[in-house]
């Protein structure tokens, strides 16, 4: 599962890697949590990065109240889920830009956070799906996304036991395929595999990252990604 991640790069660095239009209001996030806005690039508008809410709200929902089961979409089960199947069928795919994600080791009885990063790239994208909800009375538009997951690899499994999940991290070549509207659904879902162990690393971070809000203020500080021990 992926319920918290990071995108700490400055906009100028993002522009070098993803040559797209960027929205006003982007700020680095060291502890991006559900309902907060993440940066995504959709198959419908591949030349534009957009800020959308983390945690998918289906178009048919009664409100934007988040059901936490829509933070992630299990790639092996997606075609049997009414929330996600139409999105993959109609190619509502997106790249969720990131540079790390958190998982928690609970084997000792404590809740110890680890940050996972890539060795070969300091900026990458999760495979995602997005949806647009519209209030029938006010006309308010709410765009949101979910992150695809797959079986955890060994690197993630050392912290998050192998029976658990990890986000689908796309290679640079796969990013273009995930946004392609010409790829068949089976081929699209075949991209949802664990990232190679030898290209991943992780390290302990302070338990301060466990909190998403402190005294009513969003907990988003550079210190949260610093390694300890």
| Percent of the residues in the chain that have a pLDDT greater than 70, as a whole number | 98
Question: What digits encode the pLDDT tens for the residues 23-37?
Answer: 998 999 999 999 999
What mean pLDDT comes out for the span 161-182? 91
Q: For residue 206, with 0-12 CB atoms within 10 Å meaning exposed, 13-18 middle and 19 or more buried, which class applies?
A: middle
Distances (CA, A) of 125 to 60, 64, 93, 138, 140: 27, 25, 12, 33, 28
The angle formed by the CA atoms of residues 72, 133 and 147, to the nearest 5 degrees, is: 15
Largest interatomic CA distance in the chain: 53
**Domain segments of the chain as ranges:** 5-225
pLDDT interval class at 161 (50, 70, 90): low
Q: Is the predicted pLDDT of residue 137 greater than 90, yes or no?
A: no
Q: Kindly name the residue from 2, 94, 192, 202 that is annotated as catalytic.
A: 2
> pLDDT higher for 2 or 182?
182
Mean pLDDT in residue range 156-175: 88
Fold of 5-225: hypothetical protein yedk fold (3.90.1680)
The H or E element that residue 185 is part of is helix 185-189
Of 45, 76, 77, 103, the catalytic one is 103
pLDDT in tens, 77-91: 999 999 999 999 999
* 192 catalytic per annotation: no
């Amino acid at each position: 599962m992926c319920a918290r991640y990071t995108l700490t790069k400055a906009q100028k660095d993002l522009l070098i890697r993803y040559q797209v239009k960027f929205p006003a209001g982007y700020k680095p996030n060291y502890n991006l949590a559900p309902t907060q806005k993440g940066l995504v690039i959709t198959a419908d508008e591949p030349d534009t990065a957009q800020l959308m809410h983390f945690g998918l709200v289906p178009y048919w929902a009664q409100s934007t109240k988040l059901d936490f089961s829509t933070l992630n979409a299990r790639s092996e089960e997606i075609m049997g889920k009414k929330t996600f199947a139409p999105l993959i069928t109609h190619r509502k795919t997106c790249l969720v830009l990131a540079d790390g994600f958190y998982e928690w080791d609970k084997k000792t009885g404590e809740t110890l956070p680890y940050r996972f990063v890539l060795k070969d790239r300091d900026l990458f994208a999760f495979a995602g799906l997005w949806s647009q909800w519209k209030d029938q009375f006010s006309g308010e538009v709410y765009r949101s996304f979910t992150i695809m997951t797959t079986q955890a690899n060994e690197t993630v499994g050392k912290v998050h036991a192998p029976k658990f999940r990890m986000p689908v991290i796309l290679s640079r070549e796969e990013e273009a395929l995930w946004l392609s509207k010409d790829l068949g659904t089976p081929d699209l879902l075949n991209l949802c595999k664990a990232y190679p162990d030898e290209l991943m690393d992780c390290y302990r971070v302070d338990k301060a990252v466990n909190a998403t809000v402190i005294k009513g203020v969003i907990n988003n500080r550079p210190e949260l990604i610093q390694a300890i021990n």
